[in-house]
Amino acid sequence: MENDRQETLTRMVEAHGDRLYRLCLLLLGDPHLAEDAVQDTMLKAWRGLDNYAQRASEKTWLTTIAVNVCRDYRRLYWCRKRLDSEALLEQIPAPPDAEPQDDEILRQVLSLAPKYREPVLLYYWKQLTIPEIAALLHEKENTVSTRLRRARAQLKETLKGWDDDG
């Protein structure tokens, strides 16, 4: 039984660890805090493994834990400092399928207020649905939808003309 739990946790770390690290780094802005957040996420997953009812996918469950851990970290006084988006981008490992123009888009996403940044990252980078994001952030689906719409409008304005060749 204990071996099964250990194998499950090892598989989850291998399958989701890198994505969770990138998410935590984007949410916290500090590589050391992101590493700690991923470790805390996995520790909480380990402790809650017996209670995991599989109502959500494993990815969604771990993402929920990670977002909540990051929120707890951000509430701490010593964690309220923010890196500028340039410094943060240099520290984030690129996903294997990243395109060069993704850096500029990510730079603009990181400049959004947290209430807009979180839904955008979860929707586009973690590829969660609006109902999943709403459950994860403890918000109404309409609220998440509105925040995504407003974030898109802000991004459309700030990214206007950045990729024009002419």
Q: How far apart are CA 113 and CA 50, in angstroms?
A: 36
Long-range contact pairs involving 130-137 (C-beta distance under 8 Å, separation at least 24): 132/56, 132/60, 135/56, 135/64, 136/60, 136/63, 136/64, 136/67, 137/67
- pLDDT per residue over 18-29, tens digit each? 989 988 988 887
Cα separation of the two ends of the chain:
63
The pTM of the full predicted model, rounded to 2 decimals, is 0.58
- pLDDT per residue over 76-124, tens digit each? 755 455 444 445 545 555 555 555 556 677 778 878 888 888 898 888 8
Which of 91, 6, 102, 14 minimizes the C-alpha distance to 46?
6
- pLDDT per residue over 16-74, tens digit each? 889 899 889 888 878 888 999 999 999 998 888 877 767 778 888 898 899 999 888 87
